[in-house]
Amino acid sequence: MKIIISCFFLLLILVPLLASSVEKKVYIVYFGEHKHGEKAFHEIEKTHLSYLHSVKESEEDATSSLLYSYKHSINGFAARLTPDEASKLSGMEEVVSVFPSHGKYSVQTTRSWKFVGLDEGEDHSWNKFKMGGEDLLSKAKYGKNVIIGVMDSGVWPESPSFSDEGMDPTPKSWKGICQEGVGFNSSHCNKKIIGARYYVKGFESAHGPVNATEDYLSPRDMDGHGTHTASTAAGRQVSNVAALGGFARGTASGGAPLARLAIYKACWAIPNQPKANGNTCFAEDMLAAMDDAIADGVDILSVSIGTAEPLPFEDDTIGLGALHAAKRNILVVCSAGNNGPAPGTLSNAAPWVITVGASSLDRTFFAPLILGNGLKIIGQSVTPYKIKEQMYPLVYAGDVVVPGVPQNVTGQCLPGSLDPDKVKGKIVVCLRGAGLRVGKGIEVKRAGGVGFILANSEANGNDVLCDSHLLPANAVTYDDRTKILDYINSTKNPMAMIRPARTELHYKPAPFMAGFTSRGPNVVDPNVLKPDITAPGLNILAAWSEASSPSKIPDDHRSVKYNLYSGTSMSCPHVSGAAALLRAIHPDWSIAAIKSALMTTTGITNNIGRPITDSLGNIATPFQFGSGHFRPVKAADPGLIYDASYDDYLLYLCYAGPKALKEIKSAFKCPDEPPSSVNLNYPSFAIPNLNTTVAITRTVTNVGRRKSRYFFTAKPPAGVRVKASPSILHFNRVGQKQSFTITVSPRNDPTARKSEYGFGWYTWADGYYHVRSPMAVYLP
As annotated, the active-site residues are: 152, 225, 569
Q: Which of 409, 604, 667, 765 binds ligand NAG (CB under 6 A)?
A: 409
Q: Are 480 and 324 in contact (CB under 8 A)?
A: no
Provide the Cα torsion 551, 556, 561, 566; round to 10°: 0
Q: Which are the contacts of 616, defined by CB distance < 8 A and separation ≥ 6?
A: 461, 462, 478, 515
Q: Are 260 and 192 in contact (CB under 8 A)?
A: yes
Q: Tell me whether residue 485 or residue 667 sits nearer to ligand NAG (CB atom).
A: 485
Contact flag: residue 732 with ligand NAG (CB under 6 A)? no
Minimum CB separation from ligand NAG for residue 274, in Å? 9
Q: Are 772 and 763 in contact (CB under 8 A)?
A: yes
Q: Which of 20, 58, 125, 187 binds ligand NAG (CB under 6 A)?
A: 187
Contact flag: residue 755 with ligand NAG (CB under 6 A)? no
Provide the Cα torsion 375, 434, 536, 547; round to 10°: -110
Q: Which string of DSSP letters, residue by residue, matches 765-776?
A: E-SS-EEEEEEE
Site for ligand NAG in 680-699 (CB under 6 A): 689, 691
- Secondary structure (3-state) at 203: helix
Q: Of the ranges 208-216, 306-314, 334-342, 367-375, which one interacts with ligand NAG (CB under 6 A)?
A: 208-216
Site for ligand NAG in 76-95 (CB under 6 A): none
> How many other C-beta atoms can be found within 10 angstroms of the C-beta atom of residue 640?
26
Q: Tell me whether residue 83 or residue 157 sits nearer to ligand NAG (CB atom).
A: 157
Site for ligand NAG in 343-362 (CB under 6 A): none
Contact flag: residue 277 with ligand NAG (CB under 6 A)? no
- Secondary structure (3-state) at 438: helix
Q: Tell me whether residue 283 or residue 397 sits nearer to ligand NAG (CB atom).
A: 397
**How many Å apart are CA 236 and CA 537, to the nearest integer?**
19
Minimum CB separation from ligand NAG for residue 690, in Å? 8
Own/partner long-range contacts of 647-655 (Cβ < 8 Å, ≥24 apart): 648/592, 648/680, 648/681, 649/323, 649/326, 649/351, 649/352, 649/680, 650/8, 650/9, 651/675, 652/351, 652/677, 652/680, 653/9, 653/10, 653/313, 654/9
Minimum CB separation from ligand NAG for residue 212, in Å? 7
Q: Which of 213, 390, 493, 751 binds ligand NAG (CB under 6 A)?
A: 213
Q: Which are the contacts of 688, defined by CB distance < 8 A and separation ≥ 6?
A: 521, 526, 527, 778
**How many Å apart are CA 450 and CA 495, to the nearest integer?**
13
Minimum CB separation from ligand NAG for residue 456, in Å? 15
Q: Which of 58, 125, 240, 272 binds ligand NAG (CB under 6 A)?
A: 272
321: left (phi over 0), alpha (psi -120 to 50) or beta: alpha
Query: What one-letter code names the amino acid at 661?
Result: L
Tell me the per-residue interface mask from 488 to 507 with ligand NAG, x by CB under 6 A, - otherwise: -x------------------
Run of H or E including 111? helix 111-115
Q: Are 109 and 252 in contact (CB under 8 A)?
A: yes
Q: Are 150 and 573 in contact (CB under 8 A)?
A: yes
Minimum CB separation from ligand NAG for residue 222, in Å? 11
Minimum CB separation from ligand NAG for residue 550, in Å? 19
Query: What one-letter code names the amino acid at 202?
Result: G
Site for ligand NAG in 419-458 (CB under 6 A): 434
Contact flag: residue 240 with ligand NAG (CB under 6 A)? no
Q: What number of residues does the chain have? A: 780
Residue 310, CB half-sphere, CA atoms under 13 Å: how many? 23
**How many Å apart are CA 27 and CA 11, to the nearest integer?**
13
Q: Which residue from 580, 586, 635 is spatially nearest to 299, judged by alpha carbons?
A: 580
> How many other C-beta atoms can be found within 10 angstroms of the C-beta atom of residue 539?
29
Q: Of the ranges 107-115, 244-252, 364-372, 405-413, which one interacts with ligand NAG (CB under 6 A)?
A: 405-413
Q: Which string of DSSP letters, residue by residue, matches 658-722?
A: -GGGGGS--SS---SSPPPGGGS--SSEEES--SS-EEEEEEEEE-S-SSEEEEEEEEPPTTEEE
Q: Tell me whether residue 391 or residue 409 sits nearer to ligand NAG (CB atom).
A: 409
Number of residues in contact with ligand NAG, rule: CB under 6 A?
16
Q: Which of 64, 173, 185, 277 binds ligand NAG (CB under 6 A)?
A: 185
Minimum CB separation from ligand NAG for residue 526, in Å? 9
Q: Which residue from 580, 667, 686, 678 is spatially nearest to 627, judged by alpha carbons?
A: 686
Q: Tell me whether residue 20 or residue 408 sits nearer to ligand NAG (CB atom).
A: 408
Q: Tell me whether residue 689 or residue 743 sits nearer to ligand NAG (CB atom).
A: 689
Q: Which residue from 514, 543, 515, 523 is spatially nearest to 261, judged by alpha carbons?
A: 543
Q: Tell me whether residue 214 or residue 504 sits nearer to ligand NAG (CB atom).
A: 214
Q: Of the ranges 209-217, 587-595, 615-623, 738-746, which one interacts with ligand NAG (CB under 6 A)?
A: 209-217
Q: Which of 390, 408, 732, 751 binds ligand NAG (CB under 6 A)?
A: 408
Q: Tell me whether residue 420 or residue 554 sits nearer to ligand NAG (CB atom).
A: 554
Q: Hey, which bits of 36-123 come out as E strands?
A: 66-70, 74-81, 97-100, 106-107
Q: Which residue from 750, 753, 748, 741 is spatially nearest to 777, judged by alpha carbons?
A: 753
Minimum CB separation from ligand NAG for residue 391, in Å? 20
Contact flag: residue 211 with ligand NAG (CB under 6 A)? yes
Q: Tell me whether residue 187 or residue 751 sits nearer to ligand NAG (CB atom).
A: 187
Minimum CB separation from ligand NAG for residue 263, in Å? 16
Minimum CB separation from ligand NAG for residue 693, in Å? 11
State how beta strands 451-455 and 473-476 pair. Answer: parallel
Minimum CB separation from ligand NAG for residue 421, in Å? 20
Q: Of the ranges 113-121, 211-219, 440-448, 651-659, which one interacts with ligand NAG (CB under 6 A)?
A: 211-219
Q: Tell me whether residue 54 or residue 185 sits nearer to ligand NAG (CB atom).
A: 185
Q: Tell me whether residue 230 or residue 397 sits nearer to ligand NAG (CB atom).
A: 397
Q: Tell me whether residue 187 or residue 755 sits nearer to ligand NAG (CB atom).
A: 187
Q: Which of 91, 406, 617, 726 binds ligand NAG (CB under 6 A)?
A: 406
Q: Which of 122, 214, 419, 546 binds ligand NAG (CB under 6 A)?
A: 214
Minimum CB separation from ligand NAG for residue 270, in Å? 10
> How many other C-beta atoms can be found within 10 angstroms of the C-beta atom of residue 659?
8
The shares of helix, strand and coil residues in the chain, as percent rounded to the nearest 5, are 25, 25, 50
Run of H or E including 85? helix 83-90
Site for ligand NAG in 466-485 (CB under 6 A): 485
Q: Of the ranges 181-189, 285-293, 494-502, 740-748, which one interacts with ligand NAG (CB under 6 A)?
A: 181-189
Q: Tell me whether residue 83 or residue 183 sits nearer to ligand NAG (CB atom).
A: 183
Contact flag: residue 177 with ligand NAG (CB under 6 A)? no
What b/e sequence results for 735-752 when a residue is b if at least 16 CB atoms lie within 10 Å of its CB, and e otherwise? Answer: eeebebebebebeeeeee
Minimum CB separation from ligand NAG for residue 687, in Å? 9
Binding footprint of ligand NAG on the chain (CB under 6 A):
185-187, 211, 213-214, 272, 396, 406, 408-409, 434, 485, 489, 689, 691
